[in-house]
Amino acid sequence: MKTRFGILLFVMLVSACSKTQPAAEADAESDNPNQVLYDQVMDVHDEVMPRMDDIMKLKRSLQEQIANTPDMVVERKQQLEKIISNLDSASSAMMNWMHEFNPLPDTVDQELAREYLEEEMEKIRKVKTLMLESIDKAKQENNNQ
């Protein structure tokens, strides 16, 4: 009986310790300013990444306008092609940013990791601006058809 009680107590103790460990790690991560900055960078990315679908739909719609209007005025066609090009640039900017994003671990150099994340924050903000502006312009033109 004592053996069973001892084993049960041991299992409960190990279980309790293992459950508190992840919470302690989470607290340590939230105290890390680089983790906070990383999370902010990813928040901007996560905010605009779903808009990639909008870019593709708008591009397709504008391309269809061009294809379905053979007698379109040259200036209008050029205008739509420029908007399509801007949509492509915005899409490429996001894809390039994601491909090149490779944050340094804090264990290498915390200051260097912070500087990298600050630079990436600027880059992803520019990508966000490019995406949102190109989407807005394309929506305006799509509504003007």
| Distance, CA of 31 to CA of 37 (rounded, Å) | 11
Q: How far apart are CA 127 and CA 111, in angstroms?
A: 24
The predicted pLDDT at position 57 comes to: 97
> Is 88 within 8 Å of 59 (Cβ atoms)?
yes
Are 117 and 41 contacting, i.e. CB atoms less than 8 angstroms apart?
yes
pLDDT at 104: 84
Whether this prediction's pTM lies above 0.85 is answered by no
How far apart are the C-alpha atoms of 116 and 102, rounded to whole Å? Answer: 9
* Contact between residue 54 and residue 87 where contact means Cβ atoms under 8 Å apart: no
How far apart CA 135 and CA 52 sit, in angstroms, is 9
Supply the pLDDT for residue 18: 41
Q: How far apart are CA 13 and CA 16, in angstroms?
A: 5
pLDDT (0 to 100) of residue 72: 92
In this prediction, residue 2 carries a pLDDT of 52
Q: What is the pLDDT of residue 31?
A: 64
CA 31 to chain centroid: 23
Residue 77: CB atoms within 10 Å: 13
Structure tokens of 52? Answer: 């990639």
Residue 13: the pLDDT is 40
pLDDT digit string (tens) for the chain, length 145 residues: 554 444 443 444 444 444 444 444 444 455 677 999 999 999 999 999 999 999 999 999 999 999 999 999 999 999 999 999 999 999 999 999 999 999 988 777 889 999 999 999 999 999 999 999 999 999 998 887 6
